[in-house]
Amino acid sequence: MSDIFEQSTFFKAHRHGAVVHVKMNRPEKANGMSPDFWTDLPLIMAACDVDPTVRAVVISGAGRHFSGGMDLATFGDIQTLLTHEPGRAAYAMRDMVLSLQKSLSSLEECRVPVICAIHGACLGAGIDLITAGDIRMASADASFGIEEIHVGMAADVGTLQRMPKIMPAGIVSELAYTGRRFSADEAKSWGLVNSVHENGEATLVASLDLAQEIAEKSPLAIAGIKRAITYARDHSVADSLDQIATWNSGMLRPEELTKAIAAKMSKQQAVFDDLLADAV
């Protein structure tokens, strides 16, 4: 694996075949997102993106909670920034927010599916994180909250932009306006999470199992599916139909179809080649 997996001070990574398990490893602080979270995450996702042997990623949190959100130290940097000349402070503040947004956007920009295994608390920027992923699975004890309103601000690194594309906008508005916490069962009923499991360990096992199932599929087809779903979220139906037609006209290969159909008919698992190392 890339050196970033060894050098990161916030994350620990483990390989399970073609699946990379990325664990937030700051349990004593409820995996609060300190500055090294924001710098290391896009490097880790980029490393997974360019490694042709990686086919899925699972993100989880060590300790009792998935993440309590942004670390207070980051807020301290923002408060210091705002003491400068207003115009210049605003310009620098905007750059900072865009940088944080870009860090989380690395999840949806990565060619492989990202599954978030959530247990305990998932608050504030934790919501921004999971909404940038592809699939969310939660433990029965998981609790969620868009809590930025409690510190007098609007969430600004992805929740308010992605969450209404995942679940009903009216529900998102209520949760963002009030900051109230909601349960795993509520999250599932609204479509935020795919499934609810007995505890954190069971959630992680289920997430890794799902990631392994995805990893057995054609990586070329999986990359195309992820690209099409993300594109369709932000474009019209007509534009999205055109996009997938163009994609398949170039990427749909007879060898992949033949291999998949033969395996299905023989009730065996097809084995698909990795993508080329210099092509991702």
The tokens for 44 are 């880790």
Q: What is the DSSP code (8-state) at residue 70?
A: B
In the chain, CATH 1.10.12.10 covers 219-279
In tens digits, the chain (280 residues) has pLDDT values of: 578 888 999 999 999 999 999 999 999 999 999 999 999 999 999 999 999 999 999 999 999 999 999 987 766 777 788 788 989 899 998 999 999 999 999 999 999 999 999 999 999 999 999 999 999 999 999 999 999 999 899 999 999 999 999 999 999 999 999 999 999 999 999 999 999 999 999 999 999 999 999 999 999 999 999 999 999 999 999 999 999 999 999 988 778 788 878 878 888 888 898 998 865 4
CA distance 57 to 113: 6
- Domain 219-279 = CATH 1.20.120.1200: no
Residue closest to 89 by CA, chosen among 99, 101, 77: 77
Looking up tokens 């600004």 gives: 156
CA distance 125 to 131: 10
Q: What is the DSSP code (8-state) at residue 167?
A: S
- Sheet with 19-24, strands from edge to edge, namely 11-16, 19-24, 56-61, 114-118, 135-139, 195-197
Phi, psi of 117 (to 5 degrees): -100, 105
Q: What contacts 121, CB < 8 A, 6 or more positions away?
A: 30, 64, 65, 66, 67, 68, 142, 143, 145
Query: Residue 107's Cα: distance from chain center in Å?
Result: 5
183 phi-psi bin (left φ>0, alpha ψ -120 to 50, beta other): beta
CA distance 276 to 52: 6
Residue pair 137/193 in contact (Cβ under 8 Å)? The answer is yes
- Domain 3-215 = CATH 3.90.226.10: yes
In the chain, CATH 3.90.226.10 covers 3-215
What is this structure's pTM?
Answer: 0.94
* DSSP-based three-state secondary structure for 25: coil
